[in-house]
Amino acid sequence: MISVAIDGPAGAGKSTLSRRAAKALGFIYVDTGALYRTVGLKFVRCGVDTELNCDIEAILSDTQVDIRFVDGEQRVFLDGEDVSDKIRTPQISMMASAVSAKPAVRKFLLEMQRKLARENNVLMDGRDIGTVVLPDATVKIFLTASAEARARRRYKELVEKGEKVTFQEVYDDMVQRDYNDSHRSAAPLKQADDAVLADTTDCDLEQSLELILKIVKEGIN
């Protein structure tokens, strides 16, 4: 099986680009960030804040996260409910960052991700795919862009969805998530030694996609 690991900071376009690249390659796309967002939603629904002063193991023991592919698209389910459209808010973003720093949460989701890679040709994106989840991935890419460029893209996306946010709020959230993700003790965000750097600061969507596909095809051949 072929596995492609794409890591990078929040707002780098991993989900959009990975989904389109996987479709072009005929691979299954696995959005691992959606898994952490789903766990984050569960904690929010339990009334927990980002300090996570709670019994994490107890909440996880009563949590079921599933990935299902509907018409080739990944959908995530929390305790039987499709929450794919409920996990893309700034509140859930911050909670996802908080829960992903907890080893118990990472362990909870790790085997699910590895099983998908064992059984399918996958393109998987996240923060630690090439370093922790799939250290032997066929191709590893570290996808990034400047914080300002990433915030601008995320702000446009949220506004188009009807979210009432300011650019400054999105930018501040981006910078805070970058810090949290790169400084956490459990699987911090970093570029794998054998990953190819893809900086899309000055690229539009199509140029970014071409870059990703070029790197993957060169890595496979």
Write down the pLDDT at residue 185. Answer: 81
Residue 186: pLDDT above 80?
A: no
What average pLDDT score do residues 50-54 get? 92
The secondary element (H helix, E strand) that includes residue 173 is helix 167-183
Q: What is the mean pLDDT of residues 38-44?
A: 97
Element (H, E) at 110: helix 103-119
Q: What is the CATH number of domain 3-220?
A: 3.40.50.300
SS (H, E, C) 17-48: HHHHHHHHHCCEEEEHHHHHHHHHHHHHHCCC
pLDDT 10s digits, 67-92? 888 877 789 999 999 999 999 998 99
The SS3 assignment for 37 reads helix
How buried is residue 121: exposed, middle or buried, by Cβ count under 10 Å (0-12/13-18/19+)?
A: middle
Q: Domain limits of the chain?
A: 3-220
Mean pLDDT, all residues of the chain:
92
